[in-house]
Structure 1
Amino acid sequence: MVYQSSKLSIVQKFNENAEKYDSQRRKLIPCFDDFYSIPVSIIETHSSTPTVLDIGAGTGLFSSFILNKFPEAKVTLIDISEKMINVAKERFSHFSNINYIVDDYTSYEYDNKFDIIVSSLSIHHLTDTEKKNLYIQIYDLLNDGGIFVNADQVLGHTASLEKLYKDDWKNKVESSGLTEEEIYAAYERTKLDKMATLTQQLNWLEESGFKDVDCIYKYFNFVVMYGRKI
């Protein structure tokens, strides 16, 4: 019951914010440009039409950067929020190579495998057990040679560091130009977070079978994690 309540809260909060989500990203992510450009820069594939799965895709923001690099990619977006997916459909209305799924990606059964799996600012909403199980599932869903990139937020590995991360983020958000209502809504969404430390998650990726596991970018608690299926 608690599990279902948590999922419903996530759907509600992100449905409420769907229309404004993209316009607020640069103000809520102080490292926005690096956070999205660096992971895309290291995504490489031998195919000009790679199959891509975007987990917790939201409005398709991360996928839009991937499609700029691989315009012929066959992209599947999955998100639990229908209103977020509707925004993505508008974003990609001129593309014919996009598949949309409104469902819980922790339990959805996929019909095929992928060359590239990505996620941004979504997996930190899962419990630790869900994260570990998801990383195993992602590994299984990748084709040999496939890569996984997770651009997400992590917990500081000490209470002091976590406070430093939060204080820095709040200071930047509150001077970003967002309205008081928008800032309040952002703070409310953080109550849905179930973040784990970077070290924990890199270990879970390795335990799932991934090789070349690394944090390729870090800005306070914003990180980009990387792993390959060899």
Structure 2
Amino acid sequence: MRGVKSVDASKKKVQTKFDDTAGRYDSQRKQLIPCFDDFYGIAVSIAETEKESPKILDIGAGTGLLASFFMDKYPNAQFTLIDISEKMLDVAKERFCDNPNVTYLVGDYAKYPFSEKFDLVISSLSIHHLTDPEKVALYRTIYELLNEKGIFVNADQVLGSTPYLDNMYVDDWKRKVEASGLSPEAIKAAYERLSLDIFAPLQAQLNWLRQAGFVDGDCVYKYFNFVVLFGRKDSTAA
């Protein structure tokens, strides 16, 4: 098991990589995510709340790409965006400069002392940077942060359940990325970011969601290793 210093060093590398790519992050998304439209579209569609002005926490918010889709669905929502990369959040601030209902937090969401509750907690392509114990702890934290009937949606990537499947997932992604029209430099940078990822198996993550207290924990979408995970807080459920 990696020590605290090693984990912190790994997060620093992640922060540096995303600081470096902040300005061009969004323009490459459709080329790096072969299932882009379904991946984000389904994540937004399943995050339902009856509140007209829900409080939404986006963890690992980056440039605010996922949050932008949620703003279209919930224009009166109050958003809190947290990310370890200040430069990524700077892009989000520019994107949402006309929206006064957005709060920005620069910090490690795995350690951040949140002081309020939320109706929706959302995330995309971020939690896989955490170690497995950190993922387990984060799912428990998210459960506690949600109001009753709150929803958690995580659009992320997972580890194949066998080495063969995992290699198949990676090989398929690389073939599609290399045929996408991205520059060799952009592809190299994407591969370097991949080396920092800490994917966990899908079934393990579903188990962690349920152990954290979520009901209806499920994978509602899967395209190779791109998945959309769902969990609902209902303390009255049997």
Moved over 2 A (4+): none
Q: What one-letter code is carried by the residue in structure 1 that aligns with 2:224?
A: F
Structure 1 residue 5: Cα displacement: 0.9
1:6 corresponds in structure 2 to 10
Indicate the SS of the match to 2:156: strand
Structure 1 residue 39: Cα displacement: 1.3
Q: In structure 1, which of residues 36, 41, 47 is the aligned counterpart of residue 51 of structure 2?
A: 47
1:172 pairs with 2:210: no
Indicate the SS of the match to 1:144: strand
1:134 pairs with 2:138: yes
1:83 pairs with 2:99: no
Q: What one-letter code is carried by the residue in structure 1 that aligns with 2:139?
A: Y
Matches within 5 A, 1:33-72: 33-72=37-76
CA RMSD in angstroms, aligned pairs only: 0.5
Q: What one-letter code is carried by the residue in structure 2 that aligns with 1:110?
A: F
Indicate the SS of the match to 1:150: strand
Find the aligned partners of 1:89 and 1:206 in 2 and give their Cα distance. Answer: 34
Find the aligned partners of 1:69 and 1:4 in 2 and give their Cα distance. Answer: 36
Q: In structure 2, which of residues 115, 123, 128 is the aligned counterpart of residue 124 of structure 1?
A: 128
Structure 1 residue 2: Cα displacement: 1.0
Find the aligned partners of 2:30 and 2:7 in 1 and give their Cα distance. Answer: 31
Find the aligned partners of 1:97 and 1:55 in 2 and give their Cα distance. Answer: 16
1:147 corresponds in structure 2 to 151
1:115 corresponds in structure 2 to 119
Structure 1 residue 50: Cα displacement: 0.1
Find the aligned partners of 1:210 and 1:44 in 2 and give their Cα distance. Answer: 15
Matches within 5 A, 1:190-205: 190-205=194-209
Structure 1 residue 151: Cα displacement: 0.2
TM-score, reference length from structure 1: 0.99
1:186 pairs with 2:190: yes
2:220 corresponds in structure 1 to 216
Find the aligned partners of 1:44 and 1:164 in 2 and give their Cα distance. Answer: 34
Structure 1 residue 46: Cα displacement: 1.1
Find the aligned partners of 1:168 and 1:87 in 2 and give their Cα distance. Answer: 30
In the comparison of the two structures, how many residue pairs are matched?
Answer: 230
1:8-66 Cα shifts (integer Å, max 9, x gaps): 10110000000000000000000000000011111111111000000000000000000
Q: What one-letter code is carried by the residue in structure 2 that aligns with 1:142?
A: L
Find the aligned partners of 1:171 and 1:199 in 2 and give their Cα distance. Answer: 26
Q: What one-letter code is carried by the residue in structure 2 that aligns with 1:156?
A: G
- Segments of 5+ residues of structure 2 without an aligned counterpart are none
Structure 1 residue 186: Cα displacement: 0.2
1:182-209 Cα shifts (integer Å, max 9, x gaps): 0000000001111000000000000000
1:102 corresponds in structure 2 to 106
Structure 1 residue 95: Cα displacement: 0.4
Structure 1 residue 212: Cα displacement: 0.5
TM-score, reference length from structure 2: 0.96
Q: What one-letter code is carried by the residue in structure 2 that aligns with 1:214?
A: D
Indicate the SS of the match to 1:67: helix
